[in-house]
Chains A and B, each alone.
Chain A
Amino acid sequence: MATARTIHIESRTERLSAVREFVSGAARSFGFSDEEVGKIALAVDEACTNIIKHAYKFDPNKDIAVTVKAGNGSFEVRISDKGVMFDPEAIRPPDMREYLSHYRRGGLGIHLMRSLMDVVEYNNAPGKNNEVRLVKYLHR
């Protein structure tokens, strides 16, 4: 039976390390290798960074909730906020050669999340919290 654990952080970049530690501890306990733990922590860092920058536009006193639930070979992280709604359909996987050749900065976080996790899903609806759901499967 999977049990869920949640951490709440203020929308400040200095809190990213606390989120990484929280998620890393849970992922390691679930049985992921150090490499996989690192990937999950990075994906969650990217999700929280996007919320701080884009949903809350650097307002430092807003709330981000990070909930982990692990069971049946699946490690799930739900990250929710009450900021500006994000449209994931607007972000297409970039052609990295094209991207890099123009020396663009930013916008790489979602691409990284999709590369690092098995599932990246946005559940956004007007009047509700924004939520991104990240899943990594444990392959024994």
Chain B
Amino acid sequence: MSDFKIAQREKDAVSVLELKGYLDAHTASKLEEALKTLLSNGRYHIVVNCRELSYISSAGLGVFMEFIEDVRKHDGDIKLTNMSPKVYNVFDLLGFPLLYEIFKDEQEAIVRFFDRKKMPPSTTL
């Protein structure tokens, strides 16, 4: 069975989700629940740290698609960080860097939330 875990912490008014393991059609519901909970608690500044994410399929990418509109309506964002080249390649194949900010480092993403002048999105990986 796929092993997938999410750890959550708060940093400078930003919610950070750390993903670990394999994100596929079986485990995507865990990420869905985590994001749903953040939104229901009014948390719209979200960083998803992918340092320990070993694998992602389109089911995992679909979860980000599900929530991004709602998050941005509330003046928030989902920013992605610390992807391995393998995981980044899947995002890139589907053109996700056009829509999501992807950073090498978590701190860069957190700072970006408070640096409005640098919008709109661009990829820095």
**A interface residues with partner B (beta carbon < 8 Å):** 12-14, 16-17, 20, 35, 38, 42, 45-46, 49, 52-53, 96-97, 99-101, 103-106, 108-109, 111-112, 115-116
Contacts and interface: CB of A to CB of B under 8 A. Distances in A.
Instruction: Tell me what chain B mostly uses at the interface: helix, strand, loop, or mixed.
Output: helix
B8 interface: no
B57 A100 contact: no
Interface of B: 1-2, 22, 24-26, 55, 57-59, 61-62, 65-66, 68-69, 86, 90, 93-96, 98-99
B94 A14 contact: no
A100 B24 contact: no
A106 B63 CA distance: 9
A58 B26 CA distance: 12
Contacts of A42: 55, 57, 90
Nearest to A16: B24
